Chain A
Amino acid sequence: MSPLHLYQLVALLLLCVGLYGLIWRRSLVGMLICVELMLNGAGLSIVAACQLTPANAVLGQLGTLLVMGLAAAEATLVLAIVYVVTRRFKTSESIVVSEMKR
């Protein structure tokens, strides 16, 4: 196994754990945590793919930076959405919100 394989497997593991948690969690904040795990795995995969192959390394590292910025923007929006949902439904459970009525 070359280092590239190992790094990609760790990234895949982060993706799988995040997917498991996304289904398993009941509250919106827990699901947000799982999405952040998956985004971390994505960044790890991109950096491994650009650092350990002849590909353009600058593009890969800056792309990971882009993923981080998007993750920050996404977390901000989710914070606001969770805030509004909690005020409106008095809970942040996803199953209550998905009924789409109060």
Chain B
Amino acid sequence: MEIIAKIAFGFYTLVVVGGACVAVTNASLVRSLVGLVAAMFGVAGLYMLMNAPFIAFMQILIYVGGVSVLIFFAIMLTRAAPTGDEAMHRPLRKRINAIFAMLVPGVVLSVAIVRHLPAGDKLPADVPLTALGRGLMERYLLNFELISVVLFVAMAGAVMLAWRQWGEKE
């Protein structure tokens, strides 16, 4: 890696880590959503650094443009106040559980990565956009169509769930 790539990698990693920490620890859900958006932008920058600009722009379009708006709607629909559920005191056991849930896969996988992962290429592969389009239209056409079916079913299911007045007492 050249020096500029190293600086960019450090910057994006800092954005990802900071955003993730804000997203997880902040008591206000809106602020935690902002942290999540920052982390997504950082990951998009890392995609750019890995010579995958198409995926980077898709990340910004789908995650930052779509998913975060959905989460914001969810926050509004639950009327989550900054002093609400998230700000309440948690027992010590919960913190210990959370740290264990983080540490067990973290330690195992990081040891696996550091010890057993072979050193990859110095430079990322160069994939032209035409190759991606060709892949979508020829070899992975079925997957491409299936993902649209999944999206349609999910949207229809979401509308059905919200349509039926399951919350009301008859």
Contacts and interface: CB of A to CB of B under 8 A. Distances in A.
Given A23-B94, A24-B94, A29 B29 contact: yes
B131 A58 contact: yes
Contacts of B29: 27, 29-30, 33
A78 B75 CA distance: 12
Interface residues of A, number: 74
Contacts of A47: 47, 50, 52, 55
Interface of B: 1, 9, 13, 16-17, 20-21, 23-25, 29, 32-33, 36, 39-40, 43, 46-47, 50-52, 54-55, 58-59, 62-63, 66-67, 70-71, 73-75, 77-80, 84-86, 88, 90, 94-95, 97-99, 101-103, 105-106, 109-110, 113-114, 117, 119-122, 124-125, 127, 131-132, 135-136, 140, 143-144, 147, 150-151, 153-155, 157-159, 161-162, 166-168
Closest 9 CB pairs of A and B: A87-B167, A4-B120, A21-B24, A80-B158, A73-B154, A52-B120, A23-B98, A20-B102, A80-B161
